[in-house]
Structure 1
């Protein structure tokens, strides 16, 4: 089996962050969060990186990554846009934002022909996660056996507002039984009374800090493209009048599991995630990266 591909979701508009965080600098020499993910991926044995972007970002993304990655890993780009005809949808629907993360994955279907891993551009996952995923994608993955990296929700929170997470139910054998996208997870209370909750239909529900969640770090075979293509037209039809509806990645594995098409191994990691959802998160990310550089986990200058 050849080297796996890293698929980076970098088409988001960063509405809460306030700028194009995909290319914002956080490391000692202005390294982006994506730089650290790609560095970890190269060290773990990935052979290609594909960036999913909006077409208007192409020039800045190419200038940021192509030259410095030349000779280190193969680089390609795919566009997430509003042309639905290539996904079997004949109608034109006016929207201000694309159709979500699973729609983004579909946009790379012609760029990937082997096992691949999906990550968010603005999430820092750490060395352990990439090593474990590379091992899975080279030794275990098949059309009926895929995976996700399972973070503890308590290790993935922001102190500055709500976050979205795919909340997992995990079987005793370590496989995902279901995953539900919760788009409003946050801290409530102070001190000893502080806890994690998610809100649904204006009702708060408690969430155990050790609950396994998806951070959109998935290990797939190309079979997932066909499942997305099969489900997307009906999703669009059902949500044509809902400008906020999104075709999320977790809905695809959830469908596959419930229809006995594949199992999804939940690869556990105790790593503490960090990322930039809000402007206030930037300082924390910079300090966290500086600490990892000081510890020798990363060189001061990556590339």
Structure 2
């Protein structure tokens, strides 16, 4: 059974200032999602599921259906605000949905095979998709999940500090993940994170999560009770988000599942800030010029 690619695209793109999920970066207006889908199809994924807000559905279908028809199966998962489908009889006023792990849970009735989760606005590179497809078809089990671990110095923006999930790895498995909210390069090229006004060094090859996860459908049943507890604890906090690393952390600590860290030397790039856009365009242009991608991705 071919694995499925779940693309997290329900965010409102608040820092970027526009709907960056359908912004054009390639020579023919290709989006970052286009390159992820291209790599995923090449790596052997059998279905693409877009997790979106229902009001974005027409924009997404118009953008992706014409070029993907006949190439790969597509599906749409709607992430909303209604808690009743999760057995929670409450209404909580929020400006945004409940976060990435809630987005994954929204797919529980539509995904029945091993699957990978990625961000819509991150460029990951073919190596990550190839290694993840191999893991999902040969190693994934209900107690064995994975994430792609990028080198931290290959994931930073020149335009400001970023948040990164810093992984502690032992024997190839993640044993801990810590969210560092202010990570940046120093002038000498070293990497630090800041906390409480103090800088702490990070080795340049430290592995970080860029939200590229591999699961089996068992994670839906494993994470649903966690989500109920999270809502209970955070119903008065409209900005609280149920993130995938929270689920991973609980599964690791309860010894329910282990997370294999799949290393990649690929450079990650994305658009955290508006100023990142020309850098991403230039990076893609280089990959087209060196033959990594065709000039017209879907010709």
**TM-score normalised by the chain length of structure 2:** 0.97
Q: Deviations over 1:200-234 (max 9, x none)?
A: 45544332221101000001001111122010111
1:258 corresponds to 2:256: no
1:126 corresponds to 2:121: no
Quick check: 235-244 or 176-185, which moved more? 176-185
1:186 corresponds to 2:191: no
Quick check: 130-139 or 194-203, which moved more? 194-203
The residue number in structure 2 matching 1:116 is: 115
Q: Deviations over 1:11-36 (max 9, x none)?
A: 11111111000000000100000000
Report the 3-state secondary structure (helix = DSSP H, G, I; strand = E; otherwise coil) of the residue aligned with 1:214.
strand
The residue number in structure 2 matching 1:88 is: 87
Report the 3-state secondary structure (helix = DSSP H, G, I; strand = E; otherwise coil) of the residue aligned with 1:280.
helix
The residue number in structure 1 matching 2:240 is: 245
Could you tell me whether the CA contact under 8 Å between 1:88 and 1:229 is conserved in 2?
no
Quick check: 249-258 or 199-208, which moved more? 199-208
1:229 corresponds to 2:228: no
Report the 3-state secondary structure (helix = DSSP H, G, I; strand = E; otherwise coil) of the residue aligned with 1:28.
coil
Structure 1 runs of 4+ with >3 Å offset:
199-204
Could you tell me whether the CA contact under 8 Å between 1:34 and 1:121 is conserved in 2?
yes
Structure 1 residues 234 and 208: alpha-carbon distance in aligned structure 2, compared to 1, 3 A threshold: same
The residue number in structure 1 matching 2:75 is: 76
1:298: how far off? 0.5
Structure 2 Cα separation of the partners of residues 183 and 104 of structure 1: 22
**TM-score normalised by the chain length of structure 1:** 0.95
Structure 1 residues 259 and 183: alpha-carbon distance in aligned structure 2, compared to 1, 3 A threshold: same
Could you tell me whether the CA contact under 8 Å between 1:8 and 1:52 is conserved in 2?
yes
Q: Deviations over 1:140-195 (max 9, x none)?
A: 10101111000011110011122222111100x201111122333233x42x2x54
Report the 3-state secondary structure (helix = DSSP H, G, I; strand = E; otherwise coil) of the residue aligned with 2:30.
coil
1:5 corresponds to 2:4: yes
1:35 corresponds to 2:31: no
Quick check: 242-251 or 29-38, which moved more? 242-251
Could you tell me whether the CA contact under 8 Å between 1:175 and 1:265 is conserved in 2?
yes
Q: Show the 5 A alignment for 1:86-165.
A: 86-165=85-164
Structure 1 Cα separation of the partners of residues 99 and 52 of structure 2: 12
Could you tell me whether the CA contact under 8 Å between 1:180 and 1:251 is conserved in 2?
no
Structure 1 residues 98 and 204: alpha-carbon distance in aligned structure 2, compared to 1, 3 A threshold: farther
1:276 corresponds to 2:271: yes
Quick check: 206-215 or 267-276, which moved more? 206-215
The residue number in structure 2 matching 1:174 is: 172
